[in-house]
Every structure is written in structure tokens, then in C-alpha cells.
Chains A and B, each alone.
Chain A
Amino acid sequence: MKKLLPYLLLGLFTLWIVSALRAPKAKGYMDDVSFGQLPVLREGRLQPLDSVGMNALIQIRGTRKVPVEGNNEKGEWGAFLKIRGEGSGQLSERRWYQFGKRPKKLNASEWLMEVMMHPEIADERYIFAINHPDLLDELGLDDQGVEKSGLFYFTFHEISEHFPTIRRHAQSAFNQEAALRSPFEKAVIKVWVGLNTYMEFKNTIAPQDSHDFNSDLEIYLSSIAPGLEAWRSQNAGSEHDEAALGLFSGYMDRFQHLSSAGTLLIPPNKDSGTSDQWSTMGTNLIQAIQTMGVRPAVRSYAKMASAFHGDNSGNFNQAASQYKESLKTDFGTELKRTSLEFSYNKFSPFYKSTVIYLIAFLFACSTWFSGSEWTRKTAFYLIVLSAIVHTGGLITRMYIEGRPPVTNLYSSAVFVGWGAVLLGLVIERIYKDGVGAAIASIVGVLSLIVAHNLALSGDTMGVLRAVLDTNFWLATHVVIITLGYASTFFSGFLAIVYIMRGFFTKSLDKDTSKSLTRMVYGVVCFSTLFSFVGTILGGIWADQSWGRFWGWDPKENGALLIVIWNAIILHARWGGMIRERGLMNLAVFGNIVTAFSWFGVNMLNVGLHSYGFMDAAFKWLMIFNASQILIMAIGIMPLSTWASFRSTATKAA
């Protein structure tokens, strides 16, 4: 039976992955899949509407979905608005212990459909996360909103009346230099930016007050000719049709608003030549003054808006799928790409990888205690499965972006994890003692969690600043240096295993400690090679783009620190200055050096490289450093205190 268990578990998880891979189908009654797949241009990048909604939701709410149900004080379960209407006070999404309760949730596409085409409903969804206590006080939101695990969410309706207050605070916060902003100011800016995005979405497909946009469109188009006529007469000072002018100019005012939307919905006309670009609904509507007509795409979106607002799922689904179908002739490749991105969003490969790595880690660890082979094998197989998903995710991202794997801090975290996992699998294959598997899985989990948190700052596939816009250097320098980070972390984690097992358990016998030492040594060699070559390639890139090979810029120095540190370890070892434990302690310190180089230098906010600035992570960096120092402190405890060496040490004494 135990022989079969690894295969059984592998089969189970494979089933989970495969079942999630099926083509997405709309579950609700409006076709959110077709809508979510539609290509649009936002922030310079062609993407599906689903990604537009998802990235906005992550920034505004911090989650990828919007729960629409929860419970009240009495524990009664139901739709938020309904149970709020019955009682008062705070509502809770779900208590932490209510695992069984799965509230109905809107996915990003469904939410975006509501905001863009039926804002009256969307305004009542709890999507604005506000948690700074002073800001909550200032806005007097104490008895509103819903709560989940101590986090508070509010509806647009609830906070819209505080708009002037938020604007006042936001303006003064924007005057403050970004690095010096207080948590309060950051919170205000976050809400302000979120509100603006939200209001922009409300005026992207149709003006927010339009209830039947398709008819509005027809009325508008037929009002153009008489409206213009009346306008000319008015300008000439002669008698004119006041009503026609009023109708026409009323539409113009509303559409003007639409033309400043950040989401460009309407594809260019490929027949008209190369200069035509993606454009907003508003721009197209206003252009109709000259052309007396609008593009088919404008009509399609208008039909969707009317049908959605009128709760007519038949018409909506027909309009959405017809529009999608019509794109296939001229925008077939784009549509394929956005459909793939839609499926990628739905599948969330890195989330699934994280789960499997975590389970594999538990199995790998239990190997050390039980010594049984089946747990080790299970861990190994699960990591292989998870690595396949991880790799698939990376490749999909590369295909969607048309770029090498690492383009920003987020993707570097995903890639560091990937590199470490592969390294761990190789080591596990050679030594077969559960160490490689344990480290592969834990580094996989940690790096993907870091990546998940980095993703909270916005679109992870965003466009690249001009100087970074080169696939050659991204593919060589960035990939190699990131592998350098990955392997340095890996040697550090191997060393942690050595110290932990040696100090707390008796499992670190002579052979194990020797093989661990050899692993650390080998991985340090590997990191020296990669971090050195990666650093120098970075210098060459800098020489190509800024005219100097080396400028002592923080990011460059950070990379250099890793190289020097690895070189120190190797030379100290060759010179006999350190033995096993020394090697381990130095390798643990390598974790601190790498974390500084990877994240710490970005927090300094100086230099040409400051493309990944973030500050919330500072606390975590310090916690991580402290934990590493603690481990090193354990590492230098006298051998007589080590569980594994106690007997030999006392014998020697």
C-alpha cells in the first residue's frame, strides 16, 4: 500500500490541475467569459477586459473577487444588502472559523461588467478597502461597510459623499515626496486613485447615467445633422432650432467625459493604414460628427450595455459573442492572446503551484523524522508536478508578453522560485535524502508568496520603460542574475537545514553533514558563476545604454555584494579558514546579502535603476534579516549544545 501512495497522491493532484485546465465556460447567466476575453488597450498593453477588472480589483480591494454574501451579527447568512437592511452594525464576510461557508463571489469580469454597464448595482458592492484607523475616523465610516478578518470594505455609495474630504487630503498627500509619505497619506492616495479608476470605469462603455445606451446611440446619431445645422445658424446669429441644439450638445458633453477613459475599447481600422490606433468609445462617438456613423465595435458595446442594464441575458450574450466572432478576421492573433490571458487569470498557475509545494514540503520534512521512503517519493513527485505547472505559468506569461521571463520585481520572484526548485530537484535526484525536496518546496512557496504580495501593486505584465525595452538584455543579464539570486538563497536554505537539524535533532550524522557541506559548496560555486556573469552582463548593458560600465549605483552594488560574498565563502573555504559550520553560517548570511540586493536597494530610492520601488516590504525584509541572524546565532553555539553532536563532543572532551 505504501508503495502505491506516492502515485495515488500524484494522481489526485494531477486530476486537480487537469480539471482546472478545461476551457472556461460562463456559469452565470450573462456571458462573462466572452466579455472577459475581449481585447482592449490599457496602460499601453493589449489585454483582455478580465485583466483590466482584475488589476483594478487587486488595487482597490486587494482581492481578485468580490463576495456578495456574508453574515450579520446574529450569524445569519445572505446577500449583504438584504441582511444589512434587516439589521444594523458591522457585517462580516465570513468568520475565520466558518470554513464551510463559501459566499457567492463575482469574478473580475462579472464585476467589471456591472461597473461599466450597470453602475447602480456596482455602487452597492463592498469593494473599497480602507483600513487606516485615522482615515476611517476622518470619514466617519465607523458603522458602515463589511468586515473580514479585521479588514474593512465599503461601497462606492458609502464613500462617495466623502469625496471632497478625500480629495483635499489626497492633494496635500500628493504634494509630499513619495518616499516621505506617512501611512495615512498613502492610505488616502490609495483610496483616491481607486475612486478615480472606479469612476473612470463607470464612464468607459457608456455614460454612467445612460440606461439604454443602444437607443441613446441611435438618438445621438440622428441628432447630429439637425444639431450641427442649428449650431451653425446660432453662430451666424440667425434663428435656430433650440431643441435640436440642446439635444445634440447634451450628448456631446456626456461623450466628452467618455473620451478621457483609460481603457481603449475600440480596435483600429486595419484597412485605413498603419496610423490608426486603439481609441475610446468617447473619441469614436465625437468623431461621428464628421463621419455621421460609428464603427461596428461601438454599436456592439452599445448593444451589450443596453442588454446588460435591461437584464436581458439573451441579447447580451448574443452581442458579446457576435462581437468576439467579428474580431476573428482582423484581430485573430490578438484575440487568441487575450483569450489565453483570460484562461491564465482563471487558472492562476502560481497559486496552484504554491499549494502543491506546501504539501510537498510537509511530506519532505516528515521524511527526516520517519525516515520512510514513500513520503520522500511523494514529495519529489509533487514537486515535479508543481514545477511543471510553475514552468507552464512562466511560459504562458512569456508568450502573452512576448518577452523573456523576468521583466519586473514580480516576475523575478516567480523566476527565483523556479530556479531554486529546479536546483532542488537536481540535488534531490542525486542525494535522495529529502533535503533537496524540502528546500525546493519551501523556497518555491516563499518566493511565490513574495510574488503574490508584489502583484498587489498592479498589473504584473505592464509595459517596460524605454531603457528596459530590450529582449536581448532581459533574456541574458536579468535571467542569469536572477538565477544567481535563486542559487544563493538555495545555499542559504541548505545551510539552515544543516543548522536546524544539527542543533535540534539527532539526525545530522557524519555522512549527512558531509553531503550537506558538499551541496552547499557546490551551490555556492554555481551562484558565484551566475551572479558574477550576470553582474558583468549588467555592466555591459549599462555601457550600451548609459555609456558607463560601472557607476556604483545601488542596484549594481547590490549585485556586486552577492558576487563578493560568494567569492569570500569560496576563498575562505579553500584557505581552510572555515570548516563545515563556518561554511553554513556564511551561507546563511548570504540570504541577508541577497535579500538586500534584491529588495533592500530598491528601498533606498536612488539611482538610475530605481524601477521597482516599494516600501511596505521593508518591515518584512527586517523580519527576514532578524530570523537569519537568529539562525546564525544558533549556528555558532558550541557543539556541545547541538543535539547531533552532543555525544561526540562529550566523548571528545
Chain B
Amino acid sequence: MLDNIVKFFTSLRLTVTCLTLFMLIVFVGTIAQVDQGLYIVQERYFKSIFVYWGPENADWQIPVMPGGYLVGTFLLLNLVGAYIARFKLTRKKVGIYISHAGLILLILGQLFTDLLSRESAMEIKEGETVSHSSDFRLNELALIDHSKTEEDKVYALSESFLQSKSGATIPSGPLPFKINVKDYWPNVSLVGKEKEGYTRIEANSGFNNVFLKAMPPETAMDQRDVGAAVLEIMDGDTILGEWLVATVLDPQKFNHQGKEFSVGMRAKRYYEDFSLTLLKATHENYTGTMEPKNFASRVRLQNEGTGEDREVLVYMNHPLRYHGLTFFQHQMSANEMVRRQGLTATSTFQVVQNPTWLTPYLACAMVGVGLTVQFMVHLIGFTRKRRNSSPSSINTRATTPKTA
């Protein structure tokens, strides 16, 4: 029994099966991007155990295909299994040994990247100093206490928490108030006047002439969901007011007992203990064209904790790596048009936290070296064999080596 299990997990048949399934997932996942967008495809096909399918508008779905994680797990088991059970470190096999170790590292590295990495965007206007970045997709509800003069106190609630409390009450505990989540939508479209399919939202304390329509999640890469909620905020049993909050609406202020507060939805923020100041954003075009040649941002990095204060130039293919974060030049509005209109230039960095970013470098080196060694061993063996067999006649059919 155990023998059979070991045999199964170490067999080349499993390897070929998994690779074939993987290929299928990659292919289908590539074609599916045309309709579904990259983000959803990643979640559905690659970062999943099974790929589900169901008819449109039906509330059931069946697994139709293994997902990336399932196949990846089997491949990894297969690799590790074969590694332990079959590979022997001989001169002839050393290349295979190294390259497969590199593969294991690569797959594990990707898994950890999926689990541990975080991507966000930091938008800075020229001259501005910023110490937080915003998530590309996730939103949050921010309740801010502005009463302190030095720093605001921010209470942030995640979307998933908000969703779980939809129609329920969030007790005051750590929060200064009790919040009744009367309604919550992950994605909406808002308009200012009556329109078909839209309903009017009555929220007496803030915007009250807004029409709303619930939308399916965004699929386009450059669009994000507009999260919205209707909240009733209470201090004990006193109702302070009812607000419609949404990521596209400004935060709304209110006073309570002499303190100023604001409430609003926004992109989820990550705060860092250092700050970046944008000194200069440069958008260079090729002469006589609109084709961009380079985007570069000169920033000043300040960290009060360590006393660091230096200038850095971030440009294409040259990110800034600092404190486990990497800042990439992502977007920019700093061309001549912007300057001519008297607008302030803006530069956006993509901020990536990925503790395992070095693994692909190492894995690539290992697989490259491993495969090269392996094929060199093959090639040397092959040419030696050929030299020993008779190269007398030039004609093809006679010279093919007899050794197979």
C-alpha cells in the first residue's frame, strides 16, 4: 500500500499529468483574460484549488478543472518525492539534481509571494511629503478623530468586516461610537440625478441627493471597485446622524461634544514610519514625438527613527528598495501639457512588499546551471561516442552511429 503511494507520488507519469494539466490551466487562463480581466483570472484559475463553472445567473457551480494551487501542490509533492526516493547524486545526474532543487525553490517562492506579498500605490504631488500608500483594490471605512492638534486618530474598518456587519451594529468598544451598518455594497455606480436602474439614497446628514446602483466587481486592470455604505452613527442611544459614504465621495465631517470627526470610505491605506517627498517628476519624450522615453522621480527619503535623510532617483527599471519595500515608477502626470496648464506634477509609485523577492533570482541561477551541466554531460558523452564510431564515409546513412 505504502509502496504504491510512494510509487504514485514519485512517478514520471504524475509529472507529465500535472504538467499537462498545468499547461491547460495556463492556456485557458490566458484566453479567459480577454473577458474576465487579469485579477479575476488570477484568483479563479491560478490561485485556486478548483476552477468552478456554472451557468450564468445560476446559484450553483461545479468544479470543472483543477486550479493552479492543486496542480502546484501535486507537482511539488512529486518533485520532492522523486527527489528523496529516486535522485542519486552521481556525476551523471548532478545537473538534474541542481535544476530540480531550483524548481522546488521557485514554486515555494511563488507560493510565499502569493501569501506574503502586498501591492499598493503611493501618489505624491511635486513638493508634497507622503508616508502612506493605498491598496490597489481593497477599500476601507475610515473614521477619523481630528481633535488632537498634532496627529489625527484613525479608526479603519476593512471591507470584509463591513460586509460581515451589513445590516448589523458594530459596538462602540474600541471605536468612539456605535455604528449601524444599514447597507453595504462592494461596488456601486453613483449619479447625481434620477436614472433608470438607480435608486435614491436617503441619508439625512450628508449627501442626500445621490442615486445608486449596485455593480458587479470590476474586471478591468485599471479600474477599482467603488465601495459604499449607509451608516448610522450613535453615541449610546443618541443618533448623531446617517451618512452615505463611498470611495468616490469626500469624507464628511461632523462635530460631537466639541470634537471634530470625519467619516468616509477610501482605498485601504498602509502607513510607513518614513516619508517620501517628491522633489521633481520628469517625463521625457523622444524629440518630435509623443512617445515616452523615460519617467523619473527625484525623491527625498526621510526616516526620523534612524535619522536618515537622502535623495534618491527612481526611474524605469531602477526601483528604490527600502525597509523591505520596493518603490517602482508606476504612473506619472508631468508632461508638458500638465505643466502648461499650471497643474502640479504628480508621480505614482507602485509599492511592493515581497519578502521572498530574491528566490526567483536564485532559482533561475540553479536551474540554468543545472540544465547546462546536464546537457554538457550529455553532449560530451555523445561526441565521445561519435568519435569512437567510424567517421570514414561522408554519406549520411553510413555515418549514423551504431550505438543507440
Contacts and interface: CB of A to CB of B under 8 A. Distances in A.
Check if A and B associate: yes
Classify the secondary structure of A's interface with B: helix
A547 B287 contact: no
B26 A433 contact: no
B2 interface: no
B356 to A, nearest CB: 9
Contacts of A525: 371, 374-375, 378
Contact of A44 (B15, B286, B379, B404): B286
Interface stretch (B154-162, B238-246, B247-255, B359-367): B359-367
Given A278-B287, A371-B395, A529-B368, A470 B316 contact: yes
Contacts of A433: 396-397, 399-400
A41 B22 CA distance: 48
A572 B289 contact: no
A466 B292 contact: yes
Contacts of B149: none
B316 A568 contact: no
B42 interface: yes
Contacts of B291: 43-44, 463, 465
A613 to B, nearest CB: 13
Interface in B151-202: none
Contacts, number: 190
Given A470-B316, A545-B316, A577-B13, A552 B38 contact: yes
A552 B404 CA distance: 41
B396 A43 contact: no
Contacts of B404: 514
B275 interface: no
Interface string A507-545: 001011011001000100110110011001101110111
A560 interface: yes
A565 B41 CA distance: 22
Contacts of A568: 16, 19-20, 23
Contact of B288 (A264, A465, A539, A543): A264
**A473, A509, A557, A575: most-surrounded residue (chain B CB, <10 A):** A557
A604 interface: yes
Interface in A598-615: 601, 604-607
B9 to A, nearest CB: 14
Contacts of B110: 549-550
Given A544-B319, A545-B317, A466 B294 contact: yes
Contacts of A376: 396
Contact of B352 (A41, A511, A518, A548): A548
B75 to A, nearest CB: 10
A277 B38 CA distance: 41
Contact of A463 (B15, B286, B354, B364): B286
Classify the secondary structure of B's interface with A: helix
A604 B41 contact: no
B367 A549 contact: no
Interface stretch (B27-35, B124-132, B259-267, B334-342): B27-35
A463 B12 CA distance: 47
Contacts of A540: 360-361, 364
Interface string B359-400: 011011001100110110011001000100000001111011
Contacts of A541: 317
Nearest to B99: A532
Contacts of A533: 364, 367-368, 371
B371 A529 contact: yes
Given A44-B288, A567-B19, A574-B12, A545 B328 contact: yes
A583 to B, nearest CB: 13
Contacts of A466: 292-295, 316
Nearest to A179: B34
Interface in A109-157: none
Interface residues of B, number: 70
A497 interface: no
Contacts of B46: 552
Contacts of A536: 106, 360, 363-364, 367-368
B11 interface: yes
Contacts of A575: 11-13, 15-16
Nearest to B391: A432
A264 B360 contact: no
A204 B206 CA distance: 60
Contacts of B286: 43-45, 463
Contact of A607 (B38, B318, B364, B374): B38
A624 interface: no
B19 A44 contact: no
B388 to A, nearest CB: 14
A268 to B, nearest CB: 10
A606 B339 CA distance: 31
A540 B359 CA distance: 10
Contacts of B361: 540
Interface string A553-568: 1100110110011011
B48 interface: no
Nearest to A558: B30
Nearest to A557: B30
A431 interface: yes
A44 B23 contact: no
Nearest to A261: B288
Interface in B278-307: 285-289, 291-295
A532 B367 contact: yes
B293 A42 contact: no
Nearest to A575: B12
A371 B13 CA distance: 41
Contacts of B73: none
A469 interface: yes
A1 interface: no
Interface string B3-19: 00000000111011001
Contact of A604 (B30, B319, B379, B382): B30
Contact of A43 (B19, B288, B375): B288
Contact of B287 (A264, A539, A574): A264
A216 interface: no
A105 interface: no
Contacts of A465: 291-292
B109 to A, nearest CB: 8
A565 B300 CA distance: 48
Contacts of B38: 551-553, 606-607
**B30, B38, B46, B397: most-surrounded residue (chain A CB, <10 A):** B30
A45 B287 CA distance: 8
Interface of B: 11-13, 15-16, 19-20, 22-23, 26-27, 29-31, 33-34, 38, 41-42, 45-46, 106, 110, 113, 117, 119, 285-289, 291-295, 316-319, 326, 328, 330, 350-352, 354, 357, 360-361, 363-364, 367-368, 371-372, 374-375, 378-379, 382, 386, 394-397, 399-401, 404
Given A518-B382, A545-B316, A551-B38, 11 more contacts: A44-B286, A278-B287, A467-B317, A533-B364, A536-B367, A547-B326, A552-B45, A575-B16, A577-B16, A604-B34, A606-B33
Q: Which 10 A-B pairs have the closest CB atoms?
A: A44-B286, A433-B396, A575-B12, A536-B364, A511-B400, A547-B352, A529-B371, A547-B328, A557-B30, A44-B289
11 contacts: A433-B397, A466-B293, A467-B317, A511-B397, A525-B371, A526-B375, A537-B364, A547-B319, A552-B46, A561-B23, A574-B12
